[in-house]
Chain A
Amino acid sequence: MSTWARLPAVARYALLVAAILAIWQAYVTLGHVQPLLVASPLDVAGAAWADLKDGQLEKATYNTLINLILGMIVGTLIGFALASFAVFSRIGQDLLTVLTSIFNPLPSIAILPLAMIWFGLQPKSIVFVVALATIWPVALNTDNGFRTISQTTQLAARNLGLRGWRLVTGVLLPAALPSIITGVKAAWAFGWRTVVAAELIFGVAGSAGGLGWYINNARYYLNTSNIFAGLVVISVLGILVEGMFGFIERRTVVKWGMKRAA
C-alpha cells in the first residue's frame, strides 16, 4: 500500500482540495488572468464573506431551499400517491406507465415558460417545476420498491389482515424504503438542478431571489468573484445534502440490514 492510500480518507480529500485551491490561486496570481474572467479563491472567499455578513447570501440560500423543499414535498406526495395507486389497481399501474413515459424524459425546466404563463412571475412557478422534476423519480422508484417486496412478506401481512392504507404504511413502505430513499435521492438531484436553473432564467429580484438569481445578478454587475461564491455555496449545500442522505440510510436501511454500508 502506498503512503497515499494509508492516509485517512478525510486527509486524502482535504489534501486534494487544498492542492486544487493552490493551483487555482497560482493560476490567477501568476498567470495574469483577467479578474473579470476568473476570480481567485481568496477573492471568492472575500466576496462570500462580505455577502454572508450583510445577509444577502443567507437570504438567497434560504429562498432557494424553501422553493426546493416545497416543490419536493408536493412532488414526493404525488409520487407516493401514484405509486400506491399503481400497486392496488391495474388502471393505476397503466396510468403510472403512461405518465412517466410522457413526463420523465421531459426536462422539467422546459416547462418553466409554461409555468410562468400559468402562475406568473412568482416563486410558485419555480415550486411547480421542482415538483414536476421530483414526482417521476419518486413514483418510479417507490413503485419498483413495492413490486420487489418478497411474496412471503406480502402474504404474511395479508394473513394478518392488513389491507389498504395500513398495508402501505405498516409493511410496504418500510419494506420498500431502500428504493424509496433511492427515489428521493434522485428527486433531490433533479430538483436541486431544476431550482437553480429556474432561478437563473427567472429574474425575480430582491426579496424573492434565490441562489440562481444571486449568480445572475452578480453577472449583471460583472462581479465575477460573487458568481464563484454562489457556485461554491451551491456545491457545498449539495455535499451537505448528500451527507444527510447517507446519515438517514445508515440510521434506517443499513441498520436494518436491507442495504450494505458503502
Chain B
Amino acid sequence: MSLRRSLPAVLAAVALALVAPPERAPAAPEAPPSVTIAYQPGIGYSTLIVVRQLGALEKRFPGTKFDWKVLTNGDAIRDGIIAGQIQIGAGGNGPFLIGWDRGVGYKLIAPMNVMNLWMVARADEPNIKTLKDIPPNAKIGMPSPDAVQAISLRKAAQEMFGDPHKFDNNIVAIQHPLGVQAMAAKQLELHMSSPPFQQQEVEAGGHVVFRSFLAFGRSTFNSVYTTDNFAKQYPVFVSYLYGQLRDATNMLKNNPDQAADLLSKDSDGKTPAARFRGWITSRDVSWDMTPHAFLVTAAFMKEIGMLNKVPANIREIELPLLKGAGD
C-alpha cells in the first residue's frame, strides 16, 4: 500500500489515540497489580527501609508485586514518577516542590524526618571555617542543584552576602556515596550530604562549616509522595502505607534498638546495628511525620526564581491523610 493511500488511515488512528478516553478497570481493586517504591541511600530513608524490612505491605496485599528501588537522587525518582515507572517515591523537599510547581500532580503521603544537614570541609582545609572563608574556586559537592542542600546554602548566601547565587558556580552535582569518596580523593573541598555520610566525613577528620537548620530552622528533610491519580485510584493501599510509615516512625523514635537491627539487616549486616542506633538517635535527626517549613522554603524558592508559584496552604501539597497538619 502506498504511503499516500494509507496516510488518512494513519491520521485517523492517531486522532483516535489522542481523543480516546483512558481505559477504566471494571471494579476498583484495593491495590495495583504491581507497585514500585523508590527511595535513596542514607539514614533519611530509614522509615521506608523499616517498612520494607517488616514486610507488612507484602502480607496485606499478596496480589501486588512489590519492587523496591534505591536511586541516588531525588530528581531520578521524580523523573520516574513522571514517566509512570515509580508509584511511590521519596526524597527531599526541593525536587518535590519543583515537581509540584511544574505540574507533576503529586502530593505528600507523609514526611519522614527532620534533619540538620552539615556542610563538611576537608581536614586539610582548616582555613575554611565558615561560608565566608570558601575560596571562589572551591568545589562544593551536593546531590543536585535543586536539592535541599543547595536551597539552604542559597538562603544562607542571601542572608550573609545578599546574593543567593554566590555559590552556584561552586556546586558540583554528586551523589552522597561518591561525594564521600571525592572528599577522600581531594577532588572536593566541601561536601553537603546527609546522615550518615556527613558523620563519616567528620570521623575522617573533616569539620562542619554550615548547618541546614541555619537556613529555614527545623525543616522536613525527606518525604514519601505519590501522584494524585494513584492516591485516588488506590486509597486503601495509600492509607495502609501511611499507617505503616507511622508505625515505622514510632519504632525509630521509641524503639531505636529494634529499628537499628532492621537497618543493619537491610545493609546485609555490613554496618553493625550499633552504628545505626547512633545515627538514628543523633541530636540532628528526628523522626517526625508533620511537614515542617515547606511553605517558607517554597516562598524562598519562588523569590529566587526556582518556583513559579507557591502553595497557598499546606493542603495543596499533602494528601488528606495528613489532615492539613504542618507548614
Contact = CB atoms under 8 A, between A and B. Distances in A.
Report whether chain A binds chain B: yes
Interface of A: 30-32, 34-37, 116-117, 120-121, 203-208, 216-217, 219-223
B18 A32 contact: yes
B169 A222 contact: no
A29 B136 CA distance: 45
Contact of A35 (B103, B173, B188): B103
A206 B168 contact: yes
25 contacts: A36-B82, A36-B103, A120-B187, A121-B172, A121-B174, A121-B188, A203-B173, A204-B172, A205-B170, A205-B172, A206-B171, A207-B169, A216-B173, A219-B75, A219-B79, A220-B95, A220-B98, A220-B146, A220-B173, A221-B98, A221-B145, A221-B146, A221-B306, A222-B78, A222-B98
Contacts of A207: 169
A32 B299 CA distance: 30
A30 B18 CA distance: 8
A37 B103 CA distance: 11
A220 B77 CA distance: 11
Contacts of A32: 18
A217 B145 contact: yes
B235 to A, nearest CB: 24
Contacts of A203: 144, 172-174
B146 A121 contact: no
B64 to A, nearest CB: 26
A41 to B, nearest CB: 18
A107 B217 CA distance: 47
Interface in B91-115: 95, 98-99, 102-104
Contacts of A116: 187
Nearest to B185: A117
B98 A205 contact: no
Nearest to A33: B18
Contacts of B99: 222
The 8 closest A-B pairs by CB, nearest first: A206-B169, A203-B173, A222-B102, A120-B187, A205-B171, A207-B169, A31-B18, A220-B146
A205 B173 contact: yes
Contacts of A205: 145, 168-173
A36 B171 CA distance: 26
Contacts of A204: 172
Contacts of B103: 34-36
A36 B102 contact: yes
Contacts of B18: 30-32
A32 B103 CA distance: 14
Contacts of B170: 205-206
Given A120-B186, A121-B187, A221-B306, 4 more contacts: A116-B187, A203-B144, A205-B169, A206-B171
Contacts of B168: 205-206
A221 B170 CA distance: 18
B304 interface: no
A140 to B, nearest CB: 34
Interface in B284-327: 306
Interface string B103-145: 1100000000000000000000000000000000001000011
Contacts of A34: 103
Nearest to A208: B169
Nearest to A117: B185
A220 B171 contact: no
A208 B174 CA distance: 15
B251 interface: no
Nearest to B306: A221
Contact of B139 (A117, A121, A217, A219): A121
A216 B172 CA distance: 13
A30 B172 CA distance: 40
Contacts of A222: 78, 98-99, 102, 104
A28 to B, nearest CB: 11
Contacts of A219: 75, 79
A220 B104 CA distance: 13
A36 B105 CA distance: 11
B35 interface: no
B209 interface: no
